[in-house]
Amino acid sequence: MEYFRQLILKTLLPLVDLELKPNDLETPPDRTRGDLAFPCFRLSKSLGKAPPLIAKELAEKIGASLEPSGIHAEAAGPYLNFRFKAPALIEHVLLPILASSTRYGSQPAASRESWVFEYSSPNVAKPFQIYHLRTTIVGATLARIARHRGYQVTTINHLGDWGTQYGKLAIALKRYASELPAELTLKHLVDIYVRIHKDMETDPTIEKAGQDAFRKLEAGDAEMRKIWKMCVDISLKEFQKTYERYQVTFDHFWGESHYEDQLKPLLTRLKKEGILVEDQGAQVVHVTSRDGKEIPPCILEKSDGASIYATRDVAAALYRFEHFKFDRMSYIVGKEQKLHFEQVFGTLRAMKLEWEPRCEHIATGLYRFKDAKMSTRKGNYITLEEVNDLCMAKSLEVMRSRNASEETREEAKLTDSEIQTIAEQVAVGALVFADLSTDPSRDLEFDVDRVISFEGETGPYLQYAHTRCLSILRKAGDAAVRAKSAPLSSLVSQLKTPEETSLLGTLARFSEALDRTLDQRKPSQLAGYLLDLTKDFGHFYRECKVMNAGSADLTTARLALVEATRTVLGLGLDLLGMPKPEKM
Ligand code: ARG
């Protein structure tokens, strides 16, 4: 698309008395009108003419010079529309996809700004909640796309592994020691944490004992350190299973504890700068939000001298800037923490750190469940494990019934173990897609029956289209291999139908969909693009025979188009973190 934009701008520029940027060419909402459009309203004043007349005159002036490059210009009301012809799309889209494969749409590593992403950040000794999945996959997806597009990306997991709760946990471990097995799991930690909270209702000494224990931990007490380390290790082992399942990685597991030695120096610095003041026994910084509104102060030290969540966030921001000199740092965290981030950023501003505007909170919405069992509970208190189980059960049911039905199974029946593997890939893909296809700032209405369906705008629908490409190429054997290096002339002489041209036109939009995703911080942009691509592929597949196309050349050309679709769709699924089943 970049090629087409540049060419049009170059031709348009001498005729208009305006500075033009690539984005001044818009994507028409209705694709049948054209691939790009130039709105002529802006010229109306300087030229003293009505926009439709300008569009008409421009079309006449540049039409002839763009035509040989495969771009057809046409006035439609106040718009100057451009349509790309198949030969140009084959040369500038299809061939580059075939040549660059999984590097398609990528830009050289570190050719763009440095961008830090913080996501996931679950709490040690607590179950992985469904809301953590949201921040995990939204963050991981944005980071993957940014990396693909050449940003210098760093990813961080800010584990909740520090705070007064570890004091209470230590007390609980001692208190219930005789009832606990030698090998502890995350579940044990969660259970005793809940139990100690119950006991606290009748035994007021626990609160104080917990605080003392945490103070000992902060003071470096060896025994407390050992207990704390054990809790972190047990939790991380469990979290890793989730990260593997959802193909999520991090450059750094720098939890809250990572900044522990920087908290006192930070407080000292703030005191010296005169911005840390006492307020009802606590040490706070008075802050405003970015738009200058008064907000509650940012508490950095509690009255008992213990550090707090926000203290560690301020220290973390300073540390990360020192290490990465980031141009941008995005925290992907639930919207219920909006005030917290305003306070943290407000503190950075009070410290007069010129890079503070580079920090942003990408606030994610909640999950809401249709399922009766879950809908009665508050969205955030549902564990990922429960949702995984729900999806897996449904996915197995769907896969089994598809396998049993003659209609939906064109290929050989799947074995039980194949079904198990595929059901797992479908469950993960379906959940990930349901999440990522929703605007991250919105709440997500989760209905397992709809999400796991092979029809509709779902993950399995995309996965199935990809699998279908694989199966066409597999069956074509050598012909599919030859198609990858088919010469331009033979492709141009073969691919002509509206369905083929439309599919090529959609393939051309991939990189733009990636940049739009990053600009808006919304993976739903890429998800929407992949749905368009899948729909276009469906039309092509219905209308254009591939194997019995009528001639070997036409089959080769169409196989090249299938291969390009597989590449872009596969790359899109990889970037969203969705598994790609071999068979379905
Ligand atoms: N551990 C926190 C939670 O589970 C999320 C941490 C978000 N990141 C941050 N830098 N505060 O709610």
Distance 359 CA to ligand 1 centre (A): 15
* Best residue among 337, 341, 342 to mutate for probing ligand 1, ranked by most atoms within 8 Å of CB: 337
Residue of 539, 463, 554 lying closest to 506 (CA atoms): 539
State if residue 254 touches ligand 1 by the CB under 6 angstroms criterion.
no
Distance 247 CA to ligand 1 centre (A): 20
What tokens were used for 130? 């469904």
The CA distance from 369 to 386, in Å, is 12
The predicted pLDDT at position 21 comes to: 83
Q: Is 36 left (phi over 0), alpha (psi -120 to 50) or beta?
A: beta
Distance 157 CA to ligand 1 centre (A): 9
Task: Kindly report the protein residue whose alpha carbon is nearest to atom 4 of ligand 1.
Answer: 122
- Ligand 1 atom with the shortest distance to the CA of 333: 7
Q: Which residue has the tokens 């008395």?
A: 17
Q: Is 517 left (phi over 0), alpha (psi -120 to 50) or beta?
A: alpha
Task: Give the pLDDT means over successive 10-residue stretches in the chain (584 positions).
Answer: 90 84 85 89 88 94 92 94 96 96 93 96 91 95 98 98 90 95 93 92 94 91 94 95 97 96 96 96 96 96 89 98 98 97 98 98 91 56 90 96 75 88 98 98 94 96 97 96 96 96 96 96 98 97 95 97 98 98 94
Rg (the chain; Cα; Å): 28
Burial group, residue 20, by CB count within 10 angstroms (0-12, 13-18, 19+) = middle
Burial group, residue 45, by CB count within 10 angstroms (0-12, 13-18, 19+) = exposed
Instruction: Identify the H or E element spanning 5.
Output: helix 2-12
Domains of the chain: 2-84 (3.30.1360.70), 114-260+308-378 (3.40.50.620), 392-576 (1.10.730.10)
Residue of 231, 233, 227 lying closest to 174 (CA atoms): 227
- Ligand 1 atom with the shortest distance to the CA of 341: 11
Between CA 151 and CA 2, with CA 102 as vertex, the angle to 5 degrees is 60
Q: What's the whole-model pTM score?
A: 0.95
* Residue 444: other Cβ atoms inside 10 A: 21
The predicted pLDDT at position 407 comes to: 66
State if residue 123 touches ligand 1 by the CB under 6 angstroms criterion.
yes
The predicted pLDDT at position 30 comes to: 80
Query: What interhelical angle do 510-520 and 552-576 show, nearest 10?
Result: 10
State if residue 331 touches ligand 1 by the CB under 6 angstroms criterion.
yes
Pairing of strands 114-118, 152-156: parallel
Residues 6+ apart with CB under 8 A from 558: 494, 495, 500, 544, 545, 546, 549
Distance 275 CA to ligand 1 centre (A): 25
The CA distance from 477 to 479, in Å, is 6
Helix (H, G, I), strand (E, B) or coil at 73: strand
State if residue 118 touches ligand 1 by the CB under 6 angstroms criterion.
yes
State if residue 218 touches ligand 1 by the CB under 6 angstroms criterion.
no
Asked if 210 and 227 touch (Cβ cutoff 8 Å), the reply is no
* Best residue among 119, 330, 333 to mutate for probing ligand 1, ranked by most atoms within 8 Å of CB: 333
Task: Tell me the one-letter amino acid at 561.
Answer: L
State if residue 158 touches ligand 1 by the CB under 6 angstroms criterion.
yes
State if residue 311 touches ligand 1 by the CB under 6 angstroms criterion.
no
The predicted pLDDT at position 378 comes to: 47
State if residue 312 touches ligand 1 by the CB under 6 angstroms criterion.
no
Residue of 502, 558, 577, 512 lying closest to 534 (CA atoms): 502
The predicted pLDDT at position 372 comes to: 61
The predicted pLDDT at position 374 comes to: 65
CA atoms within 13 A on the CB side of 30: 4
State if residue 121 touches ligand 1 by the CB under 6 angstroms criterion.
yes
State the DSSP string of 168-222.
HHHHHHHHTGGGS-SS--HHHHHHHHHHHHHHHHH-THHHHHHHHHHHHHHTT-H
